Amino acid sequence: MAFRNIDTGIHNLQHKQIFKQVLPNFPNGASCPFGRERDTSCFLAGDERVNQQPVIAAIHMIFSRFHNLVAGELSAGNPRMSDEMVFQEARKVVIAAYQIIVYQEFLPGLLGPSVLDSELYRDAGLQLNDFEHFDHYEPETDPHVLNEFVAAGFRLHTLVSDIIPRLKSVIGLAEATALSSQYNNHSLLYEDGSADVIINGLLEEPALAFDPQISVELQGRLFRGQELPVGLDLLAISVQRGRDHGLGTYNDVREACGYGRARTFEGLGDFIPEKNIFLLRSLYRSVEDIVSGSLSRHGSELKILTLITCSQDLIVGGLLEDTVREDASVGSTFACLIATEFRTKRFSDRFWHERSHQFSQSQLNYLRRIKMSQIVCLTTGIRHVAAQSFLVVSDNNPLVPCSSAKEFNLEEFFTIPGL
C-alpha cells in the first residue's frame, strides 16, 4: 500500500475516519524484519525508524492524521485544487504547525519553561516572532545537522522511561508495558484506538530525570527479542557512535560554547557536581584525559558505574553535568548544542514557515495559536488534555476538555490566490 493516495492529497491511512487511522503497512513485508502478518506488519512512513517501538509510531500516526484532516478541509473548501496542490499545501501547514510546537512548547519544556522569559531564548534566535514575519535568512549558514548535536547532545536517552504508559480513562493510573517487550512490535497499535491510549498515557507520564542513569530497558535490553536474547546497551552504542563520528571532545565543546576549557578537575565544577568530578578523578590521570581518551586505571573502579568506563567522551561529560536551570532537562553543554542546532534550523531554511513568501500575515497569526494539545484533540478520541502537553499535569497545568480547545478552522487557507 502506498503512503500517499494519489488522487485526494491525503495520506493513505487504512481508514476513512480520522480517529481510527493507522499508518499503511510496509509493502509486501519487504525489508520488514518482523510481523509480516496483516495485523502486526511494520508501518510505512518517511523514516523506517517509525517501526522501532509503538510510541514513535503513535506520534507519527497523529501527525499523519492531522495531515489528512488539513487536506480534507482544504480540498472541501477548494474543489478546484489539484491532488498535488492539496497535498503540498497540507504538508506546508503541518510542517509549520510542527515547527511552532517544537519552538514554542517542546524546546521550552526541555530547556526549562522559565527559558521563555529569559533573554537567552531570544538572543539564541529561538523565540518565534509574535506578530511579524521573520525574513532573516542566512544563506551562508550550513543547514547540515551538527555532528556533536546528533551523536551526543540530543541523544537524550536518559530521559526515556522504561515503560510504555497506556491510559484509557481521563485520568488515573496508566497501564505499564515494559519497553523491551515492544521493540519492533506493533500489535498494540492495531487495536482500535490504541494510538490514543498510548498518547493519553504519554501526556500523563513524566520523563525520567536528566542524570547519568539510563533505564535498564535501554541499557542491556535494547532490541531484546528472539533473535537477540540479551539485548544491546544504547549508551555504549552512543559512546561508540561518538568515536565513529570523530566528535569534538567535552572540553572542545565547552570552549566552542564560550564556557572555557577546564584545565583541572576543579575547573569542571562550574557544571559538574563534586560527586561526579570525584568519579572522573578516580578514573583519569588529568582533566584533559576526560576529553582525549586514555583511562588511567583499570580494574575495580571500572565497576563503579558502567557509564564511567566511557567518560572521556562528549556524551559522558555532558550527562554528568547538573541541569542548566532548575526546571530544565539538560545540562549547560547539551543546552548550548541544542540551542545552536535549532537556531541553525530556523535561520538556514529558505522555506521556514515565518518567511513572508510562505504564509500571509493572517495565516501566520492563525497558525501561531496552534498547540500540541490541539493536535491531540483533533486527531484522537482523547477528550481531556493538559494545555501544555510537554509538562506534567499540575495545578498550574490542569486538564481541560478538548471542547474548549479552539476549533480548527481553515478558512484563512481557503483564499489561496488564483483558485
Name the residue nearer to ligand HEM (CB basis): 2 or 145.
Answer: 145
| Beta carbon of residue 57, minimum distance to ligand HEM (angstroms, whole number) | 11
In this structure, are residues 313 and 247 in contact, taking their beta carbons and an 8 Å threshold? yes
* 67 annotated binding-site participant: no
Burial, 7: exposed, middle or buried (Cβ in 10 Å; 0-12, 13-18, 19+)? Answer: exposed
Q: What is the three-class DSSP state of 254?
A: helix
Shortest separation between residue 110's beta carbon and ligand HEM, angstroms: 8
Instruction: Give the three cell numbers for residue 298.
Output: 583499570
Angstrom distance (rounded) from CA 10 to CA 6 = 8
Q: Give the CA angle between residues 13, 18, 19 to the nearest 5°.
A: 110
Nearer to ligand HEM, 149 or 366 (CB): 149
For residues 353 and 96, is the Cβ–Cβ distance under 8 A? yes
Amino acid at 149: F
* β 10-11/163-166 pair status: unpaired
Report, in Å, the least distance between residue 237 CB and ligand HEM. Answer: 5
Nearer to ligand HEM, 53 or 374 (CB): 53
Nearest to ligand HEM of 124, 179 (CB atom): 179
Shortest distance in whole angstroms from residue 24 CB to ligand HEM = 22
Percent composition of the chain: helix, strand, coil (DSSP 3-state, to 5): 45, 5, 45
Smallest gap from Cβ 30 to ligand HEM, in A, equals 22
Q: Which burial class, exposed, middle or buried, applies to 298 when counting CB atoms under 10 A from its CB (0-12, 13-18, 19+)? A: exposed
d(CA 166, CA 201): 5
What is the smallest separation between the CB atom of 363 and ligand HEM, expressed in angstroms?
Answer: 30
Residue 183 φ then ψ, to 5°: -65, 135
Report the distance separating Cα 305 and Cα 384, nearest Å: 42
Q: Output 44 or 163, the one with its CB closest to ligand HEM.
A: 163
Nearer to ligand HEM, 160 or 405 (CB): 160
In whole angstroms, how close is the CB of 52 to ligand HEM at the nearest point? 6
Other Cβ atoms less than 10 A from the Cβ of 364: the count is 23
Q: Which is nearer to ligand HEM, 59 or 400 (CB)?
A: 59
Residue 57 CA to residue 91 CA, distance in Å, equals: 19
Residue 25 grid cell: 503497512
CA neighbor of 318 nearest in space, from 128, 155, 195: 155
Which residues lie near ligand HEM (CB under 6 A)? 52-53, 150, 154-157, 159-160, 179, 218, 234, 237, 241
- As annotated, the binding site includes 157
- As annotated, the binding site for heme b includes 157
